[in-house]
Amino acid sequence: MVGRSFCLKRLVVLALVFVAGCQTTQRNLPKSTFQFYLESENTTRNGFWSATATLPISKLTFNICPHPVLFAGDLECARLATSHFGKCIFFQLSQRAAVELYKISVECGGRRMIFSFNDQVLGLSLPIENAISNDTLTIFPEVEEEALDSLIVEINDCIAKLKKMKKD
């Protein structure tokens, strides 16, 4: 009888720890997520059909590879800047992501990176002309100018929460 009671207590404690751990993770998940897709040369790439991405304001449409090449967890931070092409977002990449972007830029010249935020296409890069050897990806967002500051806050919040999750 003592052995059965001890096992039952252990089972209850383990269940409580598991449930508490799941609730903590759920509360700390970022509200937003984002990915970067590579523009596809045609409707198929390596036997996979490409997807279509349409920018919200200009309605420009691009074929994109169906799987993202960079994710929110690959980034260090994002900041708003102005270039001679207009407002842009500088995404600072992790070292691993910078190496991945370099490989992509060497293999995929002439194509763009497409930025998707919460499953909505919101921007793109200029066509890749040369190997990208720094740790920054520049995206030109297609959102109302008033919404840019809050977009940057949401992006950085997502990055911070993902970093915290990696540490825990």
Q: Give pLDDT tens digits for 85-136.
A: 999 999 999 999 999 999 999 999 999 999 999 999 999 999 999 999 999 9
Q: Is the pLDDT of residue 28 over 50?
A: yes
Whole-model pTM?
0.78
| Ordered DSSP codes for 128-139 | P-S---SSEEEE
Find tokens 């992006």 and name the residue.
155
Q: Is the pLDDT of residue 154 over 50?
A: yes
pLDDT, position 129: 93
pLDDT digits (tens, 9 = 90+) for 64-79: 998 899 999 999 999 9
Mean pLDDT of the chain: 83
Please report which confidence band the pLDDT of residue 165 belongs to, taking 50, 70 and 90 as the band edges: confident
CB neighbours of 98 closer than 8 A, spacing ≥ 6? 134, 135
CB neighbours of 168 closer than 8 A, spacing ≥ 6? 28
pLDDT, position 79: 97
Left if phi > 0, otherwise alpha if psi is -120 to 50, otherwise beta: which for 3? alpha
pLDDT, position 17: 40
pLDDT, position 16: 41
Closest CA to 56 of 112, 116, 111, 110: 116
